[in-house]
Structure 1
Amino acid sequence: MRFNGLDLNLLVALDALMSERNLTAAARSINLSQPAMSAAVARLRTFFQDELFTIAGREFIPTPRAESLAPALRDALLHVQLSIISREPFEPAQSDRRFKVILSDYVALVFFEKVVERAAREAPAVSFEFRPPGDDTDDLLRRGDVDLLILPEVFASNTHPRAGLFDDVHVCVGCTSNKQLEEPFTFERYMSMGHVVVKFGNVRRPGIEEWYLLEYGHKRRIDVVVHGFSMIPPMVSGNERIGTMPLRLAQHFAKTIPLQIVELPLPLLLPFTEAVQWPALHNSDPASLWIRELLFKEASHMISPPGAAEPHMHRISTGPDPLTCDRRT
């Protein structure tokens, strides 16, 4: 079909090339032969009077013109998909939809595991694909390449819809044999000890507590950097290192690992909210509405963050606020 001289099928080919950055993979993704995809590239170059891609090895590198076309092209194809092709009602019991979800190991263990169990009862053929937090989440949401992104609300984008799910607090964890965690566990001692910290994605985005410390001009001693919260408990076991992680996950691991959990001596580090985001174009998509409702139902059963008076936690005496007294300008 042509529209103002452009074969609209070529837009599907261009979108595939922008996504895959490889001729063979792009052709396979839209069921074209490699010669047919090569011909589509030639026709696209002629129509737009631009090379659109340069080739480096087997990778197609988009030109500035192709990059400028990509957002509007993807939005247009998603509108067609969601508004015209996929408008039939979503029937969970009959669906074999696979939901792609970006989330941390923390969220998977303390929350989404229950969502999967609930989904299995309502929609036994529905499946899930988990992806770790990365550096391109905004682009994946914009392109509709993922269905859900779950992350601390403080890091959420303002360009996509979002809703809060549940709250938690950060705590300090160490081995039960770690005598340095005995009271009084001060800010100075916390900063001087060896830390196991989590950093996300290729750019190594810090966790909330690291962002908080850097914001106030403090740098702690980091012994080990890991890519998931679930790696912290084994890394502090049997030694004097400590880690900072969400309380719900710390309590999860304390059932099987000798883990001591104490309050953080960071008075201004408030409870945080885990939120869910989804592509704006999925706002009215029946499948997206169903999975979001499932999340909200499960989140309603999450009690408020447990207080510091748990049997295996002790309250920390910090004295004057170490951050507000020593903030760098």
Structure 2
Amino acid sequence: MRFKGLDLNLLVALDALMTERNLTAAARSINLSQPAMSAAVARLRTYFRDELFMMVGRELVPTPRAEGLAASVREALLHIQLSVISWQPFDPAQSERRFRVILSDYVTLVFIENVVERVAREAPGVSFEFMPIAEDFDELLQRGDVDFLIMPESFMSKHPHTGLFDDVFVCVACEGNDCIGESFSFDQYMSMGHVAVKFGCSLKPAFDEWHLRESGYSRRVEVVVQSFSIIPRMLSGTRRIGTMPLRLAQHCAQSTPLRILNLPLPIPKLTEAVQWPMLHNTDPASLWMRQTLLEEAARMAPLEQVYPALARQFVSLETTAA
């Protein structure tokens, strides 16, 4: 079928090439022979008057023109998929939908387990693919390559999102750490050695580190780890301290000897939120899963029940800072 001189089937080929970056793999993904895919590439080059892809080793590297087309082509194909082809009432009990979700180990440990258990009961054919937080998460959302992203609300982009649950940051130390008592001062906190989290190859700072930098403070970081859940293990047998979300600290304390103390500085509450591609806004399956996530988040224990004394002290610190 042609639209203003363009064979619309070529857009499917272009999207596959942008995704796979390999001619053979792209052809296989849309059930074309390799010669047919080569012919499609030639026709795309003729229509757009651009090479679109250059061969570098065994990988197809897109030209700036191809990069500029990629998001619009994927958006158009997704719109057709969701609004024309797949639009039908969603029955969780009969569905075999697979949800791809980007989330941290923190969310995995304190929240997602209950969601998976509930879905197994209500929708046994539904499956999940959980993925680590990547630096290109906004591009993955834009392309519709993932269904949901769960991360701190303050780091989210323009796609629609809604809050799930709150947490607060606390200080953690090895149970045998005798450098601190039941509480300690800001000066002590800043002078002690820290185990801190930085994400990805670019070592992007976690929320607590980002807030401290914005406030003009710099900690003495002696150990850098890739996730909050590793912090307790790195404190064992040392005099170092770490900063991590309260709900996760409580979870880790069940298996690791850990002291949990109030922070001597007010770091804002952490709000974990769920975000989805704009094109999924009215997708029945996405709507059902969003509702499931929100209902399970509402069942989580309030912060004052997770650790009453620390929750009250945090509120006091917030009030003082204000």
TM-score of the superposed pair, with normalisation by structure 1: 0.91
Decide whether aligned partners of structure 1 residues 271 and 20 sit closer, same or farther in structure 2, where only a CA change above 3 A counts. same
Partner of 1:237: 236
Quote the offset at 1:28 in angstroms. Answer: 2.1
Q: Which moved more, 1:124-133 or 1:32-41?
A: 32-41
Opposite residue 305 of structure 1, the aligned amino acid is L
SS at structure 2 position matched to 1:133: coil
Aligned match of 2:280 in 282, 285, 302? Answer: 282
- On the 8 A contact 1:24/1:34 being kept in 2, the answer is yes
Q: Find out whether 1:304 has 2:298 as its counterpart.
A: no
Q: Find out whether 1:67 has 2:67 as its counterpart.
A: yes
Opposite residue 89 of structure 1, the aligned amino acid is P
Partner of 1:50: 50
Quote the offset at 1:86 in angstroms. Answer: 0.5
Deviations 1:152-179 (A, max 9, x none): 111111x100101010001111100011
Partners of 1:64 and 1:92 in 2: CA distance: 42
Deviations 1:245-276 (A, max 9, x none): 11001001111110000111122x12121110
Q: Find out whether 1:206 has 2:232 as its counterpart.
A: no
Aligned match of 2:269 in 268, 271, 275? Answer: 271
Partners of 1:78 and 1:203 in 2: CA distance: 31
- On the 8 A contact 2:183/2:261 being kept in 1, the answer is no
Between Structure 1 and Structure 2, how many residues are aligned? 320
Partner of 1:327: none
Partner of 2:83: 83
Deviations 1:46-104 (A, max 9, x none): 11110011121112111111111112111110110000001111111111111000000
- On the 8 A contact 2:169/2:243 being kept in 1, the answer is yes
Decide whether aligned partners of structure 1 residues 39 and 77 sit closer, same or farther in structure 2, where only a CA change above 3 A counts. same
Partner of 1:155: 155
Opposite residue 292 of structure 1, the aligned amino acid is R
Partners of 2:162 and 2:306 in 1: CA distance: 27
Partner of 1:9: 9
Partners of 1:133 and 1:144 in 2: CA distance: 15
Partner of 2:251: 252
SS at structure 2 position matched to 1:179: coil
Opposite residue 60 of structure 1, the aligned amino acid is L
SS at structure 2 position matched to 1:36: helix
- On the 8 A contact 1:17/1:23 being kept in 2, the answer is yes
Deviations 1:266-315 (A, max 9, x none): 22x12121110000100000110010010011011123223796479996
Partners of 2:23 and 2:245 in 1: CA distance: 43
Opposite residue 97 of structure 2, the aligned amino acid is R
Partners of 1:207 and 1:29 in 2: CA distance: 37
Q: Which moved more, 1:193-202 or 1:72-81?
A: 193-202
- Give the unaligned 5+ runs of structure 1: 325-329
- On the 8 A contact 2:170/2:260 being kept in 1, the answer is yes
Identity across matched positions, percent: 65
Partners of 1:226 and 1:256 in 2: CA distance: 19
Partners of 1:114 and 1:247 in 2: CA distance: 18
Q: Which moved more, 1:241-250 or 1:306-315?
A: 306-315
Decide whether aligned partners of structure 1 residues 226 and 258 sit closer, same or farther in structure 2, where only a CA change above 3 A counts. same
Partners of 2:282 and 2:309 in 1: CA distance: 45
Partners of 2:99 and 2:296 in 1: CA distance: 17
Structure with the higher helix share, 1 or 2: 2
TM-score of the superposed pair, with normalisation by structure 2: 0.93
Q: How does 1:26-175 map to 2 (within 5 A)?
A: 26-157=26-157, 159-175=158-174
- On the 8 A contact 1:199/1:227 being kept in 2, the answer is yes
Partners of 2:214 and 2:28 in 1: CA distance: 47
Quote the offset at 1:201 in angstroms. Answer: 2.5
- On the 8 A contact 1:174/1:236 being kept in 2, the answer is yes
Quote the offset at 1:123 in angstroms. Answer: 0.4
Partners of 1:293 and 1:118 in 2: CA distance: 12
SS at structure 1 position matched to 2:93: helix
SS at structure 1 position matched to 2:243: strand
- On the 8 A contact 1:53/1:61 being kept in 2, the answer is yes
Q: CA RMSD in A?
A: 2.3
SS at structure 2 position matched to 1:238: coil
Partners of 2:304 and 2:170 in 1: CA distance: 11
